[in-house]
Amino acid sequence: MKKFFCTVLTLLSIMGTLYAQHQVRAGIKTFGISSDNLERRFWIDMGKGNQLCLELEDQEDISRFTNVDSLLMVFLADMKPFNDSLSDPLAWHVIDYVIDAAGKKKLRLQTFHPASSSYLLDQPEPAVLRLEQDTIQIVLEFPESTGRHHDGIRQDRLSLYLNDYHQLSNYITGGLNEKIRWLQKNMRSYWVRTGKIWQAEKDPAITAPQPAGYIAMAHDYLSSEVRLNVGNYKSYFAPSFALGIGLHFNREESIRSFSFLWQPVFLFQTNAQGHLQTFRNDFLTVEIAREWKDKNPHFIYLSPSISFGWLVRREGDLFEKNSYRLFLGHTKLTKDNLYLQPGMYFHDFFRGVTPAVNIRLDF
């Protein structure tokens, strides 16, 4: 009999745990958001310890928050029936507010009470001291057509951390629209590292875990490499293209890349009959590069890199046998994908060295 009761109690315990887990998962599905899909995160200091956090699955989603004042006005209007639940000066609140892809609104209000009372004693009479901020989490959902989500729903989140929920109305028409719109235009501008966070150089009130808002601990990744090149070999015009793969290792301060490329170089020469001939000479190239995240994308700067290629297919006699190409460093000419590379061609052990310049366009 004792064993029977023990078995029943064990089963009830397991069922209770499964039920609790089901309830938690149901809450997460309705009001939560998967952090695995978030790509960008920004913090805005609103003053007096209050903060705004914007989390996006894609940088283009910021356009949904450029009229944040209107969004907050709708939220406050929907919260009016619950104002009495928010009047306890000692309690703090977590409010989840979801506008789903169909435009329906869902609300969850959680209230927490301290286990003990705290007071501030720098006044004639003791003042009640709150130790926790109120949290408002507004989630916007919309259909996702790219197949990235199994349920076809995409989510972005706006969170506010306030000393008192009732302070929220003070920030409407208080400059948040301008902050979000400025961030939309300057997301890829210059970021300065301060301790473990990054600040927008022109607005230190805006911070992020990484430049441009990328969330810290971004994953390493593998990419296909497609490039067009315009350069010279001796006095010859030498265009080329490159195809290959790249391994990219994302670190706090920089991205380190290792690329393996097939690069045919085309040379043009007029023969004895006066006809233009084209000669294709194929190089296999290995490149190691490092891009600093704190560099201003609007200024030209030199990044460390080494690109070494060896001739594996020779056509014509313009290149010597056992020829090589070596390019050291690269200068970023635009904030995106145009580079200038100085280097040289030579054969055997640095014989017949000839300088070269290459302009590279990445896709």
296 within a domain of the structure (yes/no): yes
Residues 272, 149 share a domain: no
27 within a domain of the structure (yes/no): no
Look at residue 129 in the predicted model and tell me its pLDDT: 65
Residues 243, 202 share a domain: no
- Cα(229)–Cα(211) distance, integer angstroms: 29
Residues 168, 47 share a domain: yes
| Number of residues assigned to the chain | 363
Residues 194, 174 share a domain: yes
pLDDT tens digits for 139-149? 999 887 665 66
Answer with the one of 174, 191, 213 that is the final residue of a domain: 213
Phi, psi of 87 (to 5 degrees): -95, -10
Answer with the one of 164, 180, 213 that is the final residue of a domain: 213
Residues 315, 174 share a domain: no
Residues 116, 243 share a domain: no
Residues 160, 39 share a domain: yes
Q: How many helices (H) and strands (E) does the chain have?
A: 3, 20
15 within a domain of the structure (yes/no): no
Domain boundaries, position 299: 221-362
- Cα(333)–Cα(337) distance, integer angstroms: 8
Residues 279, 315 share a domain: yes
Residues 236, 190 share a domain: no
Look at residue 342 in the predicted model and tell me its pLDDT: 95
Residues 313, 176 share a domain: no
Within 8 A by CB and 6+ apart from 318, the residues are 233, 236, 267, 269, 279, 281
Residues 53, 193 share a domain: yes
117 within a domain of the structure (yes/no): yes
Look at residue 227 in the predicted model and tell me its pLDDT: 95
75 within a domain of the structure (yes/no): yes
Inter-residue contact 253 to 293 (CB < 8 Å): yes
26 within a domain of the structure (yes/no): no
Mean pLDDT by 10 residues, the chain (363 residues): 46 43 45 80 94 93 95 96 89 94 93 78 70 92 71 89 93 93 90 87 92 76 92 94 93 84 94 88 96 64 90 94 94 81 94 94 90
Question: Measured in whole angstroms, how far is the alpha carbon of residue 329 from the centre of its chain?
Answer: 26
70 within a domain of the structure (yes/no): yes
User: Hey, what amino acid is at 359?
Assistant: I
Look at residue 188 in the predicted model and tell me its pLDDT: 82
Give how many domains the chain has, as a whole number: 2
Q: Which residues pair with 263 in a beta bridge?
A: 283
Phi, psi of 305 (to 5 degrees): -165, 160
345 within a domain of the structure (yes/no): yes
Look at residue 210 in the predicted model and tell me its pLDDT: 85
Inter-residue contact 180 to 62 (CB < 8 Å): yes
The domain that holds 315 is classified in CATH as 2.40.160
Instruction: Tell me the Cα Rg of the chain.
Output: 30
Answer with the one of 188, 213, 238 that is the final residue of a domain: 213
Look at residue 298 in the predicted model and tell me its pLDDT: 55
- Cα(240)–Cα(267) distance, integer angstroms: 9
Residues 195, 271 share a domain: no
